[in-house]
Amino acid sequence: MSDKQPATNIEPVSLDILALPESSASVLYSLYDVLSSVGKMWTLLTGEEESSAGFEVRIVSTQSATFFCHGNVPVFPHADIADCSDVEVIVVPDLFVEPNFHPDNNWQIAKQWLKRQYALGATICTVCTGSLLLADAGLLNGKEATTHWSAAEILRSRFPEVRLNSDKIFVSADEDQRLITTGGVSSWNELALYLIKHYCGYQEASRAIKIFLLGDRSDGQLPFTYLPRPKEHTDAVIEECQIWIAEHYDKPMPVQKMIELSNLTKRTFMRRFARATELNPIDYVQRLRIEEAKQLLETTQEVIEDISAKVGYEDPAYFRKIFKRKAGVSPAKYRTISGNKVSRRIRFLLNARMVFS
């Protein structure tokens, strides 16, 4: 399969999610689920080898004891920040604050920890109103930042040293991209995908979108789907054919060539292949071809006619018909909404030439 960018980490990246009593449980646990799945979940679902070591994710707080965050949801920290040092990445989820909110001792402890970790080289990211904590710590002084529109006035009035731009969704406050703020609760999606792509590679970010169906789902699940995990079986002849077709799916008359390779009669081959894989050979080949076509649509700008030929379809019209049947949308639409992945905002963040606007 095509791969736009190789893995960038062979060892897990240490990543701490900072939880406070004001934290949103939905963002806290969503970030944890998505980021901790990298390097693990894809193999579990598809049987394919992972391309990255992923992240070593922890939920940390100003205490190690269980506490309740916003909405009376329990939080079980993996560690007290007093025991956390040399962290590579820190994420601050959104924080529910009233206009007259005054930081408490939890914030004081968290601020000192964030400043210390930033000085040691950590990258610090915030979701939505999490930027208030960074502003209160002085880390955003003289730098551009964003936040949720409802908190813009709080940040502007209390922290005039911050160059607030609440029109933006994603802002890097410094040239080396070690301070990142995002606007809106749902912007955790973009932040998670950026971190996955930045540290683990494009392919892992693409896989996360397919696993969690991140982005535009108006066309259903088919644009996100991938080949299911291969069915385990003990038919060595059919297994040999599967190994062959994985590398030769683009060849003319692939089913006939598998029959010849198997030294079985056509009827026996068809029966044994279906029993071993739970798919007939033609459908099996089509799935391989369409999955490769998806990868090419996602990672290249090749014209559809060339992609059709590359995956084994000489007739582009027939290719379009099969593609729509298997992927739920036409190749052109897949490239628009799913090719570089699912939505324009996410596609922007997954682009190898990504810049912060």
Domain map of the chain by residue range?
A: 13-215+346-350, 222-338
* Backbone φ and ψ of 90, nearest 5°: -125, 135
Element (H, E) at 269: helix 266-277
Q: Is the dihedral of CA 31, 198, 162, 110 positive or negative?
A: positive
Q: How far apart are CA 304 and CA 53, in angstroms?
A: 34
Q: Are 15 and 35 in contact (CB under 8 A)?
A: yes
* Sequential pLDDT tens for the chain (357 residues): 334 444 456 789 999 999 999 999 999 999 999 999 998 888 888 877 777 889 999 999 998 999 999 989 999 999 999 998 889 999 999 998 877 777 777 889 999 999 999 999 999 999 999 999 999 999 999 999 999 988 888 888 888 999 998 888 888 877 778 999 998 888 888 899 999 989 998 888 888 888 887 766 666 666 667 766 777 889 999 999 999 999 999 999 999 999 999 999 999 999 999 999 989 999 999 999 998 998 888 878 899 999 999 999 999 999 999 999 888 889 988 887 654 443 444 444 444 333 333
The answer to whether domain 222-338 has CATH 3.20.20.70 is no
Instruction: List 164's β-bridge partners, or say none.
Output: 145
**If we measure between CA atoms, which residue out of 246, 233, 220 comes closest to residue 342?**
220
- CB burial string 47-59: b at 16+ within 10 A, e below: eeebbbbbbbbbb
Sheet holding 123-126, edge to edge: 79-80, 55-61, 13-18, 89-92, 123-126, 179-182, 170-172
How confident is the model at residue 157, as a pLDDT?
87
- CB burial string 257-289: b at 16+ within 10 A, e below: ebbebbebeeeebbebbeebbeeebeebbbbbb
CATH of the structural domain 13-215+346-350, one choice from 3.30.420.40, 3.10.110.10, 3.40.50.880, 3.40.50.720: 3.40.50.880
Instruction: List 125's β-bridge partners, or say none.
Output: 91, 180
Q: How far apart are CA 179 and CA 139, in angstroms?
A: 8
Q: Give yes or no on whether 13-215+346-350 and 222-338 have one common fold.
A: no
Between strands 55-61 and 13-18, the pairing is parallel
- Report the phi/psi class of residue 68: left, alpha or beta, with left for phi > 0 and alpha for psi in -120 to 50: beta
Instruction: List 102's β-bridge partners, or say none.
Output: none
How confident is the model at residue 9, as a pLDDT?
66
